[in-house]
Amino acid sequence: MNIFHYAFKVKDITSTRKFYIDFLGCTEGRSTENWIDFDFYGHQLSGHVSENFPKLDYCGKVDGVNVPIPHFGCVLTISQFETLQQTFEENNIEFVVKPQIRYAGQVGEQRTMFVFDFSGNPLEFKAFSNANEVFAK
């Protein structure tokens, strides 16, 4: 089995648990008072409590939109994307980059949206119009 593991900084366990479980639908793995693991769409995320957060840089320019770097997220199906977008909207989660279509009418056309988790980590969710074009040039 090949799954991705990503460890990242969070401000606290309580708000992290709320965001990743209540809004993203993740299941919780092991945790302590200082870190928490999640099943993030089949991948392992590990949130570690820290007070030292680097400043975000909006140096990423993709299809004319400045995006925060670093960020992480997941490629979803269109149905999953729409459901997650609705969850964010119903819970007043502010979009860093509002849901939109990137590369419209081109190879690699995709829906994308960015939000911050409750620790200020930017997450991108995207869904390709054609799932076979995820790595297309």
Distance CA 94, CA 105 (A): 27
Round to whole Å and give the CA distance between 25 and 41: 9
Residues 62 and 19 in one domain: no
Do residues 78 and 14 share a domain? Answer: no
Domain that holds residue 29: 5-49
Report helix, strand or coil for 58: strand
Same domain, 75 and 105: yes
8-18: pLDDT as tens digits: 999 999 999 99
Question: Which of left, alpha, beta for 11 (phi over 0: left; psi -120 to 50: alpha)?
Answer: alpha
Query: Residue 56 pLDDT > 90, yes or no?
Result: no
Reply yes or no on whether the pLDDT at 26 is more than 90: yes
Q: Examine the pLDDT at 63 and tell me if it is beyond 90.
A: no
Instruction: Give the C-alpha separation, 47 to 133, whole Å.
Output: 31
Whether residue 36 sits in one domain with residue 102: no
In this structure, the answer to whether residues 129 and 67 fall within a common structural domain is: yes
User: Tokens 């648990």 map to which residue?
Assistant: 17
In the chain, the number of structural domains is: 2
What does the mean pLDDT of the chain come to? 95
C-alpha span between 96 and 14 (Å, rounded): 22
Q: What is the mean pLDDT of residues 20-47?
A: 97
Shared-domain flag, residues 63 and 92 = yes
Is 135's pLDDT higher than 90? yes
Pair (95, 42) in one structural domain: no
Task: Please compute Rg for the chain using Cα positions.
Answer: 15
